[in-house]
Structure 1
Amino acid sequence: MLKFILRRFGASIGVLFAASVLLYVLVINSGDPLKDLRESNAENRDLLIERRVEYMNLDMPWYQRYLDWLIGVGKCFKLECDLGTNRSGVEVNSLLALAASSTLRLVLLATVIALVLGILIGVLTAVRQYSGLDYGVTFMTFLFFSLPIFWAAVLLKEYLAIGYNDWIRDPSFTPVQLIVTGLIVGFLMQVFLAGSTRRRIITFAATAIFVAVALPTLTALDFYRNPQLGYIGVAVLTFVFALGATAAAAGLKDQRVLRPALITAALASVLQIVLVNVFIYYINWWIIIAGGILAVVIPYFIGRAMGGRRASLAAGVAAATGFVGAGLTVVDHLFRNWDNFLAMKPRPISTIGSQTPNFGGNFWETVLDQGTQLLLPTLVLTLVSLASYSRYTRSSMLEVNEQDYIRTARSKGLAERTVIFRHAFRNALIPIATIAAFDFAGLIGGAVITESVFGWKGMGELFRTGLDQVDPAPVMAFFLVTGTAAILFNLLADIFYAILDPRIRV
């Protein structure tokens, strides 16, 4: 495996070098970088031309300019990258850092959400093949996949941003809205849960009535402007997740999995009260990251210690419970600050930019500001990527379900959940690893259309501006990041194959 990795890495360096030369030549020959100044009537035109020639080294042959750039890239191995300056004399290093941080915030969240939801939907539709749920999900995923991004972005701006901002000033529902919402949610729920005709009717009626009663009740409690989970709400939801995850993974009768999950839920419920002052007065991103790691690591070892022969499964369920409990605690504190955030920003969902200029809120209010700015572009990218992940997962699961070892597992009397998640799901993830790796690497390059529509100054904007201005420095910085990411994630996908299936050795 090591030999394969080294061989792949060496070949990738050669590909990067050849591609960089080709891209550099194409960019510098795509136009005249001095065109705007040659047509200018400014009195200091000659001085401006002289400065731009100096900034872009236009008095040197192209191969020498490229060699200077390559030497600057070589300094990255010493953590001293020198990517030159753009045509205005601004260091490309600083431009790249700002663009990469902006794009990573957008892309990472969208990719993770699309990957998780896509895999879950794909597994569910494969298990329920040719059902109403399967047909409905297939229709919706292809609909989302075929939507033009710019058109979907405009629709989200109109209804999810402008419409919501108008509604949140005085949240209310008309009787027609309650009836229509109840009918739609009831229909979707009966499709999702399936069952006999009688069960579908009961599910539909119960869900429709619940929605029609819950929405005005939450309005009366002012939940939409002042939401609260509270200590009890976080604890209840954490325990519900622990029971649900145990039931899905092993069944509630398996005490070796159930006990660590419940202990983790209890621990998360207690810690949210004990650490309340930390979350109010001392919170920062490093504390959240450290807390998230501990919320996974500690329950993992609890599950390993108490799981016996089911140690791996118990550790996984306990770790997931700990992570969800920690996440619910964070959500609760965001809810607690929502009313103050609305007071500072009455129209919370913005349609342009990655954050509100000169926003002066506390940590939680700043997170809410950046989160609401992320909402629309993240949702657009998620909807587009969701279709690919769900369809590939579904087809992969269906293919794996036809294998002999799956039939053997069922003939041995194993529970269906064990057959699906322990035997079929793991092997079905192998092709998904390739798709996810290339998708994430591609999106790191910047969702150019999405960033343009929502006014994000990310990698796509950096690339487009460099091309428009016939400026190779920003374009080559973009290439360096995206090309390296593509190679790195392709290599990680190969390694992930061996983790998923130890029989795979290249």
Structure 2
Amino acid sequence: MTRFILRRLGISALVLLGGSVLMFVLTINSGDPLQDLRESNDPNRDNLIAQRITTMGLDLPWYQRYWQWLTGAAGCLVGRCDLGTNRAGVEVSSMLENAASSTLRLVVGATLLAIVAGVFFGILTAIRQYSGFDYVVTFFAFLFFSLPVFWAAVLLKEYGAIRFNDWIADPSVSTLTTILIGLVLGFVVQAALGGDLRRRLMTGGGTALFVVVAITYFDAVDWWRRPALGLPVVALVSIGAGALMVALTSGFGNRRVVRAVGATVGLGLVSYLAFGGVLADPTWPILFGLYAVAVVIALACGWFLGGFSRRTAMWASFVTASVMAGTVVMDKALGAWAGYLQLQPRPISTIGSQTPNFDGTFWQDFLDKGTQLILPTVVLTLISLASYTRYTRASMLEVLEQDYVRTARAKGLSEREVISRHAFRNALIPLTTIVAFDFAGLIGGAVITEAVFGWKGMGELFRTGLTQVDPGPVMAFFLVTGVAAVVMNMLADISYAFLDPRIRR
């Protein structure tokens, strides 16, 4: 494996080198970097032109300029990056740091959401092949796949930002709208779960009734402007997550896993009460530190209570603890929503990644950055969701026809065990390649999304550099996307060996 990784790294380095030369040459020949100054009527125009020629090295041959960039970029391997300056004399390294942090916040969130939702719907459609639910999901998958990014972004700005901001000033949901929402969600849930007619009617009717009652209650208590979850909801979500993980991994017949997950939930709820004061206004180091403690507690519960199912118990406890941590973060953020609306009456902005000079508590600042993430994240998620859904469905259908799956069913294993233990893991093998390419592709594909939503990220860096015929920002963009592609493909190769032990040989 070590020799394989080193060989791949060497080949990838040669590909990056060749690509960087091509990108550099194409950029510097894409226009005239002095055009704006040549058309200027400034009396100091000649001095400005001479200064820019010196700053950008335009008096040097292209290969010498490229060599200067390459030697500076190679310093990143030892922690001394020197990516030069842009035509205004600003350090490209500092520009790249700000742009990369902004874009990665967007791309990582969109990728995770797309993977989770795509795998979920892909598995359901494979299990429910040729059903009405399968056809509906397939239709929307192709629709999202062919969706123009700029068009979807403009629609989201209109309905997800402008009209939502108008509605949240005095929120209310009419009775007709409430009933329609309940009926639609009831129809979707019964279609996803399936069953005979009686079971479908009970599932759909129960879901619709629950949704109607919940929305009516939210309207009555003005939950839209003063939301909260509280300990009961956190406990219910945690117990539900734990029960789901037990059902998907070992089943409730394995008491050791049940005890490990139950202990994780119990200790998590106690910790929620114990650290309530700290979580009122924490910092990022404190928040990540508490999450690390939660993970350690979960793994310890799985280790000491799992017995012969120790590995399964640790995995189930870890996922349960992570879901609990996310629920607690959501609870604290929702508790700060009312105060945030007083500072920001129109919370969803159509431009920018955060409010300039925003002054609020930790959770209010968290909401400010989080609300700006919603719309561009949704755009990128919808585009990637289609690919993950279709690839997961195709992979699952292929795996479900294999002999070892038929053997597992013939041995009397439940359908849950056949799907989760035998089919799902093997269906993930081709999906790892898609994840690797998609992550790197989203960084480059975010150029249009960032332009529409006014994000100062990698897309803005690339677009500005290309418009100004400035190779510094463009090459910084190429460096990040190229390295991301290499690293993600390497992780995909390593994941193959983890998912299928035969590949290790």
Is the structural similarity TM-score above 0.5? yes
Q: Aligned residue for 1:479?
A: 478
Residue 504 of structure 2 aligns to a residue whose secondary structure is coil
Q: Residues 250 and 417 of structure 1 are in contact (CA less than 8 Å); yes or no, is this contact kept in structure 2? A: no
Q: Deviations over 1:309-366 (max 9, x none)?
A: 2222211111111111121111111111110001111111111100001110110000
Q: Which range moves more in the overlay, 158-167 or 100-109?
A: 158-167
Q: Aligned residue for 1:329?
A: 328
The letter for the 2-side match of 1:14 is: L
Q: Which range moves more in the overlay, 359-368 or 406-415?
A: 406-415
Q: Residues 446 and 459 of structure 1 are in contact (CA less than 8 Å); yes or no, is this contact kept in structure 2? A: no
Q: Residues 103 and 446 of structure 1 are in contact (CA less than 8 Å); yes or no, is this contact kept in structure 2? A: no
Q: CA deviation at 1:457?
A: 0.9
Q: Aligned residue for 2:197?
A: 197
Residue 436 of structure 2 aligns to a residue whose secondary structure is helix
Q: Aligned residue for 2:61?
A: 61
* Structure 1: distance between partners of 2:358 and 2:163: 23
Q: Deviations over 1:46-105 (max 9, x none)?
A: 111011001101111111111111111121122111111111111111111111111001
Q: Deviations over 1:394-451 (max 9, x none)?
A: 1111111111111111111122211111111111111111110111122233511100
Does 2:379 align with 1:380? yes
Q: Which range moves more in the overlay, 142-151 or 175-184?
A: 175-184
The letter for the 2-side match of 1:57 is: G
Does 2:245 align with 1:245? yes
* Structure 2: distance between partners of 1:244 and 1:430: 23
Residue 166 of structure 2 aligns to a residue whose secondary structure is helix
Q: What TM-score, normalized by structure 1, do the two folds share?
A: 0.97
Q: Residues 257 and 309 of structure 2 are in contact (CA less than 8 Å); yes or no, is this contact kept in structure 1? A: yes
The letter for the 1-side match of 2:38 is: R
Q: Deviations over 1:237-279 (max 9, x none)?
A: 2112212221233222321211111111111111111001111
* Structure 1: distance between partners of 2:494 and 2:219: 51
Aligned-residue Cα RMSD (Å) equals 1.3
Q: Deviations over 1:216-257 (max 9, x none)?
A: 211111211111111222122211221222123322232121
Does 2:210 align with 1:210? yes
Q: Residues 153 and 380 of structure 1 are in contact (CA less than 8 Å); yes or no, is this contact kept in structure 2? A: yes
The letter for the 2-side match of 1:230 is: G
Equivalent residues in 2 for 1:267-282 (5 A)? 267-281=267-281
Q: Deviations over 1:175-226 (max 9, x none)?
A: 2212221221221122122111122223223322332222121111121111
Q: CA deviation at 1:300?
A: 1.9
Q: Residues 248 and 417 of structure 2 are in contact (CA less than 8 Å); yes or no, is this contact kept in structure 1? A: no
Does 2:357 align with 1:358? yes
Does 2:257 align with 1:257? yes
* Structure 2: distance between partners of 1:7 and 1:243: 44
* Structure 1: distance between partners of 2:300 and 2:393: 33
Q: CA deviation at 1:284?
A: 1.1
Q: Which range moves more in the overlay, 2-11 or 241-250?
A: 241-250
* Structure 1: distance between partners of 2:205 and 2:193: 13
Q: Which range moves more in the overlay, 425-434 or 202-211?
A: 202-211
Q: CA deviation at 1:23?
A: 1.3
Q: Aligned residue for 1:165?
A: 165
Q: Aligned residue for 2:421?
A: 422
Residue 445 of structure 1 aligns to a residue whose secondary structure is helix
The letter for the 1-side match of 2:244 is: G
* Structure 1: distance between partners of 2:291 and 2:444: 28
* Structure 2: distance between partners of 1:184 and 1:341: 31
Does 2:141 align with 1:141? yes
* Structure 1: distance between partners of 2:128 and 2:458: 40
* Structure 2: distance between partners of 1:391 and 1:332: 34
Q: Aligned residue for 1:503?
A: 502
* Structure 1: distance between partners of 2:205 and 2:21: 65
Q: Residues 84 and 91 of structure 1 are in contact (CA less than 8 Å); yes or no, is this contact kept in structure 2? A: yes
The letter for the 2-side match of 1:114 is: A
Q: Residues 161 and 350 of structure 2 are in contact (CA less than 8 Å); yes or no, is this contact kept in structure 1? A: yes
The letter for the 1-side match of 2:347 is: P
Does 2:451 align with 1:452? yes
* Structure 2: distance between partners of 1:68 and 1:365: 44
Q: Aligned residue for 2:124?
A: 124
Change over 3 Å in CA distance of 1:338–1:19 after alignment to 2: same
The letter for the 2-side match of 1:261 is: V
Residue 172 of structure 1 aligns to a residue whose secondary structure is coil
* Structure 2: distance between partners of 1:5 and 1:251: 38
* Structure 1: distance between partners of 2:453 and 2:259: 47
Q: CA deviation at 1:145?
A: 1.4
Q: Residues 446 and 458 of structure 1 are in contact (CA less than 8 Å); yes or no, is this contact kept in structure 2? A: no
Q: CA deviation at 1:478?
A: 0.9
Q: Aligned residue for 1:340?
A: 339
Residue 216 of structure 1 aligns to a residue whose secondary structure is helix
Q: Aligned residue for 1:492?
A: 491
Q: Which range moves more in the overlay, 55-64 or 73-82?
A: 73-82
Q: Residues 445 and 481 of structure 1 are in contact (CA less than 8 Å); yes or no, is this contact kept in structure 2? A: no
Q: Residues 400 and 427 of structure 1 are in contact (CA less than 8 Å); yes or no, is this contact kept in structure 2? A: yes
Q: Aligned residue for 1:82?
A: 82
Residue 85 of structure 1 aligns to a residue whose secondary structure is coil
Q: Residues 246 and 257 of structure 2 are in contact (CA less than 8 Å); yes or no, is this contact kept in structure 1? A: yes
Q: CA deviation at 1:305?
A: 2.1
* Structure 1: distance between partners of 2:304 and 2:125: 35
The letter for the 2-side match of 1:178 is: T
The letter for the 2-side match of 1:115 is: I
The letter for the 1-side match of 2:305 is: M
Q: What TM-score, normalized by structure 2, do the two folds share?
A: 0.97
Residue 246 of structure 1 aligns to a residue whose secondary structure is helix
Once superposed, which parts of structure 1, at least 4 consecutive aligned residues long, lie more than 3 Å away?
none
The letter for the 2-side match of 1:456 is: W
The letter for the 1-side match of 2:255 is: Q
Q: Which range moves more in the overlay, 361-370 or 407-416?
A: 407-416
Q: Which range moves more in the overlay, 413-422 or 198-207?
A: 198-207
Q: Aligned residue for 1:413?
A: 412
Question: Which runs of 5 or more residues in structure 2 are unaligned?
Answer: none
* Structure 2: distance between partners of 1:155 and 1:400: 39
Q: Aligned residue for 2:23?
A: 23
Q: Aligned residue for 1:6?
A: 6
Q: Deviations over 1:352-390 (max 9, x none)?
A: 100001110110000000000000000110111011011
Q: Residues 295 and 322 of structure 2 are in contact (CA less than 8 Å); yes or no, is this contact kept in structure 1? A: yes
Does 2:39 align with 1:48? no
Q: Aligned residue for 1:175?
A: 175
* Structure 1: distance between partners of 2:27 and 2:406: 56
* Structure 1: distance between partners of 2:241 and 2:475: 47
| Number of equivalent positions | 505
* Structure 1: distance between partners of 2:312 and 2:284: 30
Residue 32 of structure 1 aligns to a residue whose secondary structure is coil
